[in-house]
């Protein structure tokens, strides 16, 4: 879809469309069918046979809704036509639903007309021309049997089941061996959970029907239990699964209680047996040891007194002494020694723990040190790492309204809430910077970005608490970059602290500073984006190419929408297409088209400060003129 929106792929060009679909089907084996239908009547679809071979279905407006199906060769070219069939795609749900709503949508779960045993669902996206007029629909089919295959890999006790149903009770997927359809008079029909031959699935569906009467009433996670007809207790959990494109399913997990109790009973028997064996062993050992317990008493007594006096260089010869008085002397001697050692070690441990607060365990592990006392001035590690800077915006203005004690309490409360997210994602705080902090993530950008999103969510929850107490909400800016750097101990012999040095560290600080200009919560560099293992897990939008103060080369920056509150994130996703068109026109120097696009963004999302920033830039460029070598790069003169 992005290729069409960016103008890299023309939906009217059937040759390029089918080549592009053919390549995508090779990259994504989980997709069963991808197609595009145009208002003009043109249609292109690439499907996958059960054995993996791909085929082409092609229709032009002049074909009167009859497509031709071809076998594709290894280069994706039509090799042989083997069927022709009528297909009025405009009457299909994947097309009609998008045409009527004008928005991306999931279709209803449906069976293929030519292969009804195949149950699938389509994800459909509208195709708009430059005038925002809908000209066609792009669809992608997913065969739901793949979900069943995945569910079968899950271990739910000995006989547990997990199944997915629609709100009308029809089975989408199940971990049982039963197929989600049944055959009547030669036709395949979808199976309702109430009609399932699997006893656990059917019994659970009947219970849910009895409890709620209408499955649409289940609007949040439900945990429950009940007894089946044979008296067995079943544990059930129901989880609604919904998304913004219209998907609305229920995930049901059911496990017999006996699956767990059987293991517990077995563990109880094993524990009792082990305790009995341990008791017998202890009795035998005690009887044997009692004969020898008094032999070393006298020599140990003398040695203990020497140790208590501080003379640790002792050697004890064990011989046979059986007098009771020596046991008393031994006890007194060891008590004296124990008290002195306990006082010494307690004092040492207290000092060590106090020192360790300045050097947390993750810092020790990073520097390959066993103990905090092993850390020395100059210890460091040099490698590629992800680095994060964060800061509370307008903290100076905020702190002016507080006393010094209130300032300390506020900063400590904030840091106590957000700092654990750094440790939870395999990072550590190098140093605190007043109301901000610098943290590094030795394992790379995946940990850093996950921590940044989690930290932003903590700030949102903290703001809810503050506002409930009548306090002002705070805004926090986070910048993340990656590169080679040196992290270690700096200072002088009487005082050392952690720090990080590299031009990449300085650049990260600049990235964090840019968040206040763009009005966003979390910025990442292009280097971070390219190193993410699964960038599609996040909602990321391109923001700018800019030259920050103190540097000559531009950097490309992106906003991570997952860090935004839900409402703000949804609005930015809603205006993504207009925002991208504005960026493209701005970089090409087409200021009128760029202004129109950003004004459309602000008409929907007036809080999008980045769009407002671009409008201010456009005013400056209109007033001063667009440079001849203009590429869209903007230079910031402030930090």
Instruction: Give residue 292's pLDDT.
Output: 58
Answer yes or no: do 136 and 162 share one domain: no
Answer yes or no: do 534 and 406 share one domain: yes
61 occurs within a structural domain: yes
Answer yes or no: do 56 and 168 share one domain: no
Give which of 191, 127, 134, 131 is closest to 164, Cα–Cα.
191
Binned at pLDDT 50, 70 and 90, residue 118 comes out as confident
Backbone φ and ψ of 73, nearest 5°: -85, -170
Answer yes or no: do 66 and 206 share one domain: no
Residue percentage of the chain with pLDDT more than 90: 32
Distance of alpha carbon 467 from its chain centroid, rounded?
Answer: 28
Answer yes or no: do 20 and 104 share one domain: yes
Regarding pTM above 0.85, the answer is no
462 occurs within a structural domain: yes
Mean pLDDT value across the chain: 83
d(CA 77, CA 52): 16
Last residue in a domain, options 229, 259, 289 = 259
pLDDT, tens digit, for every residue of 257-302?
Answer: 877 666 676 777 888 888 788 888 777 776 666 665 655 566 666 7
- The answer to whether the beta carbons of residues 258 and 272 sit under 8 Å apart is no
CATH number, domain of 205, equals 3.30.450.20
Answer yes or no: do 444 and 534 share one domain: yes
Answer yes or no: do 132 and 33 share one domain: yes
Answer yes or no: do 135 and 166 share one domain: no
d(CA 419, CA 408): 16
Neighbours of 92 (CB within 10 A): 19
- Three-state DSSP class for residue 27: helix
Answer yes or no: do 316 and 414 share one domain: no
635 occurs within a structural domain: no
535 occurs within a structural domain: yes
CATH number, domain of 434, equals 3.30.70.1230
276 occurs within a structural domain: no
Last residue in a domain, options 355, 376, 396 = 355
pLDDT, tens digit, for every residue of 336-390?
Answer: 655 565 555 555 555 455 455 556 667 767 777 766 666 777 677 889 999 999 9
Q: Residue 67: which residues within 8 A CB-CB, separation 6 or more?
A: 43, 45, 57, 58, 59, 84, 85, 87
- The answer to whether the beta carbons of residues 280 and 183 sit under 8 Å apart is no
Last residue in a domain, options 517, 538, 564 = 564
| Angle, alpha carbons 73-77-82 (nearest 5°) | 70
Instruction: Give residue 32's pLDDT.
Output: 85
Number of domains in the chain: 4
Answer yes or no: do 465 and 539 share one domain: yes
- The answer to whether the beta carbons of residues 539 and 561 sit under 8 Å apart is yes
Answer yes or no: do 534 and 434 share one domain: yes
Where do the H-state alpha helices sit in 370-502? 395-399, 404-424, 445-468
Domain that holds residue 253: 158-259
585 occurs within a structural domain: no
For the ranges 3-7, 453-457, 576-580, the lowest mean pLDDT is seen at 3-7
Neighbours of 136 (CB within 10 A): 23
207 occurs within a structural domain: yes
d(CA 261, CA 268): 10
308 occurs within a structural domain: yes
Answer yes or no: do 346 and 242 share one domain: no
d(CA 67, CA 560): 43
pLDDT, tens digit, for every residue of 84-99?
Answer: 888 888 888 888 888 8
């Amino acid at each position: 879809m992005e290729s069409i929106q960016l103008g890299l792929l023309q939906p009217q060009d059937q040759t390029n469309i089918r080549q592009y679909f053919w390549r995508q089907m090779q990259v994504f084996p989980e997709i069963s069918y991808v197609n595009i239908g145009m208002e003009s009547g043109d249609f292109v679809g690439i499907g996958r046979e059960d054995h993996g071979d791909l085929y082409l279905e092609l229709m032009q407006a002049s074909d009167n809704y009859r497509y031709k199906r071809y076998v594709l060769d290894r280069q994706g070219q039509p090799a042989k036509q083997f069927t022709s069939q009528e297909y009025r795609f405009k009457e299909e749900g994947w097309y009609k639903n998008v045409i009527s709503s004008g928005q991306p949508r999931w279709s209803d779960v449906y069976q293929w007309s030519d292969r009804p045993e195949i149950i699938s669902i389509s994800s459909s996206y509208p195709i708009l021309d430059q005038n925002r007029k809908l000209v066609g629909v792009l669809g992608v089919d997913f065969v739901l049997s793949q979900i069943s295959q995945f569910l079968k890999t899950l271990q739910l006790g000995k006989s547990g089941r997990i199944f997915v149903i629609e709100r009308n009770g029809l089975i989408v997927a199940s971990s049982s061996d039963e197929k989600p359809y049944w055959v009547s008079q030669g036709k395949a029909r979808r199976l309702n959970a109430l009609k399932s031959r699997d006893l656990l699935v059917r019994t659970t569906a009947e219970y849910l029907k009895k409890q709620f009467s209408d499955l649409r009433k289940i609007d949040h996670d439900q945990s429950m239990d009940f007894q089946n007809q044979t008296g067995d207790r079943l544990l059930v959990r129901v989880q609604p699964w919904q998304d913004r494109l219209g998907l609305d399913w229920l995930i049901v997990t059911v496990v017999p209680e006996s699956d767990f109790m059987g293991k517990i009973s077995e563990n109880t028997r094993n524990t009792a047996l082990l305790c009995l064996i341990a008791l017998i062993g202890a009795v035998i050992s005690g009887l044997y040891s009692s004969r020898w317990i008094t032999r070393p008493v006298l020599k140990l007594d003398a040695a203990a007194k020497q140790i208590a006096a501080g003379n640790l260089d002792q050697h004890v010869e064990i011989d046979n002494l059986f007098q009771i008085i020596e046991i008393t002397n031994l006890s007194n001697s060891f008590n004296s020694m124990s008290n002195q050692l306990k006082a010494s070690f307690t004092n040492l441990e207290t000092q060590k723990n106090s020192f360790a607060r300045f050097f947390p365990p993750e810092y020790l592990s990073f520097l390959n040190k066993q103990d905090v006392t092993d850390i020395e001035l100059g210890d460091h590690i040099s490698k590629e790492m992800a680095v994060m800077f964060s800061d509370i915006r307008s903290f100076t203005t905020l702190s002016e309204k507080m006393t010094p004690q209130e300032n300390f309490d506020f900063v400590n409360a904030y840091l106590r809430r957000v700092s654990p997210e750094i440790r939870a994602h395999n990072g550590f705080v190098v140093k605190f910077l007043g109301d901000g902090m610098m943290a590094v993530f030795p394992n790379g950008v995946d940990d850093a970005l996950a921590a940044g999103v989690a930290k932003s969510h903590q700030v949102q929850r903290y703001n809810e608490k503050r506002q409930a107490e009548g306090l002002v909400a705070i805004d926090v800016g986070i910048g993340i970059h990656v590169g080679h750097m040196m992290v270690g101990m700096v200072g002088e012999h009487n005082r050392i602290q952690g720090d990080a040095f590299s031009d990449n560290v300085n650049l990260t600080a600049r990235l964090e500073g840019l968040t206040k200009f763009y009005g966003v919560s979390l910025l990442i560099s292009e280097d971070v984006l390219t190193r993410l293992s699964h960038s599609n897990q996040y909602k990321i939008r391109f923001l700018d190419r800019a030259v920050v103060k103190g540097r000559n080369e531009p950097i490309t920056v992106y906003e991570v929408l997952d860090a935004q509150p839900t409402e703000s994130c949804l609005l930015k996703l809603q205006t993504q297409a207009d925002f991208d068109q504005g960026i493209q026109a701005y970089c090409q120097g087409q200021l009128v088209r760029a202004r129109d696009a950003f004004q459309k963004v602000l008409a929907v999302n007036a809080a999008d400060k980045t769009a407002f920033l671009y409008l201010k830039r456009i005013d400056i460029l209109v007033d001063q003129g667009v440079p001849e070598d203009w590429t869209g790069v903007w230079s910031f003169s402030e930090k």
